[in-house]
Amino acid sequence: MTQEKTIKIEAYYRDPGLLERIAATFRRFWLDIKWMNMKVEEDGKCTVYMSIYDGSGLGNLDLSVITLSKMVDIDFVEELEGASYKEFEIKYNKMKKYEWGVISE
Domains and CATH numbers, the chain: 3-83 (3.30.70.260)
Distance of alpha carbon 77 from alpha carbon 26, whole angstroms = 13
- Give the model's confidence band at 1: pLDDT under 50 very low, under 70 low, under 90 confident, else very high: very low
**pLDDT given at position 2:** 52
Burial class of 98 by CB neighbour count within 10 A (0 to 12, 13 to 18, 19+): exposed
Could you read off the pLDDT of 51-98 as tens digits, one per residue? 999 888 888 888 999 999 999 899 999 999 988 887 777 888 988 889
- Give the model's confidence band at 49: pLDDT under 50 very low, under 70 low, under 90 confident, else very high: very high
**pLDDT given at position 89:** 78
